[in-house]
Structure 1
Amino acid sequence: MTDVLVLWDIDRTLMYVGQIDRAVYRAAFRQLTGREATQLPARGTGRTVPLAVRELLATNGVDHHDIEPLAEQMVSLLPHLLTERLQELRDEGQLMDGATEALQAVRASERLLPTVVTGNLQPSAEIKLRAFDLDQYVDVSVGGFSSDDAHRPALVGIAQGRAAARYGGTFDRSNTVIVGDSLEDVRTGIEGGAAVIAVASGTTPRDDLARAGADRVLDSLVHADELLDAIADLTVTRSSKG
């Protein structure tokens, strides 16, 4: 019986992939335009990939008439380019402190259903999770990805709907929690309908995460019991769900 939907962010919450995402953006831009990008999307913002791609094209002087068709091509291309860097992901990327243990603890609880809500495209999210053997701890089939909707708060409802369809019951703000590191993760929970456990493992200070409206702020994922306690405190168990 699962009672609570746990939505994991990926980048800087579970892992840090360094310059690899930016290298992939550069390669995709070069392949589609025949020139180098001089400006890249800001790092650590939690912005969805479709929005980041459009920003990349606009700030590098692509004619506004060409942005939409090129953006669609780039969104399709990015996962393929990331796949080519799978070994680089494994060699140069790193797990955030306590990430694996925290994922294991959530997965081990019968009342928790772990998945992901991320600004990554679904294929890219799956590549990253597999690279670090984290896919075994989340049910990606009920997640929310920027390939579903470029508006990140909408991904909460998408994941809730998928989880309800697969596992039964109803998931809403009372029994859904996001675990993430950015202001965008906080906004996603507030606007999308989930409690927010912020982890100060990214580029955003814990005070900023708290001021933005996070329900709890953890310094890291090192103490899995603190995470489990926060999830329990912020959600309602519905014993009638099957």
Structure 2
Amino acid sequence: MILVLWDIDRTLLYTGDIDRRVYKETFISVVGRPPTALPARGTGVTMPMAVRELLRVNDVPEQKVEALAARIVAELPERLAAYREFLARDGNIMPGAVDALAAVQQAEHLIPTVVTGNLRGSAETKLAALGLICYLDTTIGGYASDDPHRPALVRIAQNRAATKHGGRFNRNNTVIVGDSLEDVRTGQEGGARVIAVASGTTAEEQLRAAGADHVLTDLTATKDLLRLIEQVQAP
């Protein structure tokens, strides 16, 4: 068996500035004033880390950061869920994503789930709104709500997959499919091979230089993706 860990944003789907809108609303709710700066787009950092940076760049006193960050993180999934109709209407599925997801799901020896910087509630809202959640076993994924340190999410997903399916999962039978430098780092430090997809804000050359095992332009070449996933177990 091979565990396939899908990234979500800019790999499978794109929801524009909705996350930044939710960050802004929640910051105002918790801090009591509007932020003057918002998290950078497309970096792949986990939501809890992005929230801490959001507080710091908006001059929140350091001694208040952790407590306020916890309150913001707790609110984010529910606030995003309020935008589900907006996500369904204006969100975009990345080119080739549906066929790629379906092909992985249909292969009996491949186990599809997610490793994402999203909180679990946020991840499931996005995937459900755009009709992609049916291709993934989200119960065994790794989420920022499990650990803000993204590489740690690989082991969390591997352990959950082992509990459900038996066997052991490690670098030799686990692959991340993602678009960012954080996805590459997550695989390198967390224990997974990485198939990078240059569908986000990071160029193919940067993904290769960062150490991705393979790089694709997008997900439209389904056969190539499946072939590269199979190579995870190659000597």
> Per the shorter chain, which TM-score range?
over 0.9
Specify the alignment match of 1:240 in structure 2.
none
Give the alignment partner of residue 221 of structure 1, picking from 216, 219, 222.
219
Show CA shifts across 1:107-145 (max 9, x none): 000000000000000010000110011111110111000
Q: What aligned pairs does 1:149-164 form with structure 2 within 5 A after superposition?
A: 149-164=147-162
Specify the alignment match of 2:69 in structure 1.
71
Structure 2 letter corresponding to 1:155: L
Q: Distance in 1 between the 2:66 and 2:175 partners?
A: 33
Structure 1 letter corresponding to 2:76: L
Could you say what secondary structure the match of 2:70 adopts? Answer: helix
Q: What aligned pairs does 1:125-164 form with structure 2 within 5 A after superposition?
A: 125-164=123-162
Matched, 1:104 2:102: yes
% identical aligned pairs = 57
Specify the alignment match of 2:122 in structure 1.
124
1:100–1:134: 8 Å Cα contact kept in structure 2? yes
Matched, 1:28 2:30: no
1:177–1:235: 8 Å Cα contact kept in structure 2? no
Q: Distance in 2 between the 1:187 and 1:110 partners?
A: 28
Structure 1, unaligned runs of 5 or more:
238-242
Q: Distance in 2 between the 1:4 and 1:182 partners?
A: 22
Could you say what secondary structure the match of 1:114 adopts? Answer: strand
Could you say what secondary structure the match of 1:144 adopts? Answer: coil
Structure 2, unaligned runs of 5 or more:
none
Structure 2 letter corresponding to 1:215: D
Deviation of residue 233 (structure 1)?
1.3
1:142–1:159: 8 Å Cα contact kept in structure 2? yes
Deviation of residue 236 (structure 1)?
5.2
Matched, 1:199 2:197: yes
TM-score by length of 1: 0.96
Specify the alignment match of 1:210 in structure 2.
208
Q: How many residues align?
A: 235
Q: Distance in 2 between the 1:160 and 1:142 partners?
A: 8
Show CA shifts across 1:59-94 (max 9, x none): 101111111111010001001110111111111110
RMSD between aligned residues: 1.0
Specify the alignment match of 1:11 in structure 2.
9
TM-score by length of 2: 0.98
Q: Distance in 2 between the 1:233 and 1:51 partners?
A: 33
Deviation of residue 235 (structure 1)?
2.2
Matched, 1:80 2:99: no
Specify the alignment match of 1:178 in structure 2.
176
Deviation of residue 196 (structure 1)?
0.3
Ranges of 4+ aligned residues in structure 1 off by more than 6 Å: none
Q: Distance in 2 between the 1:122 and 1:138 partners?
A: 13
Structure 2 letter corresponding to 1:183: L
Q: Distance in 2 between the 1:91 and 1:70 partners?
A: 32
Deviation of residue 34 (structure 1)?
1.6
Structure 1 letter corresponding to 2:103: A
Q: Distance in 1 between the 2:131 and 2:234 partners?
A: 30
Q: Distance in 1 between the 2:74 and 2:136 partners?
A: 24
Q: Distance in 1 between the 2:124 and 2:83 partners?
A: 14
Q: Distance in 2 between the 1:141 and 1:84 partners?
A: 22
Matched, 1:47 2:45: yes
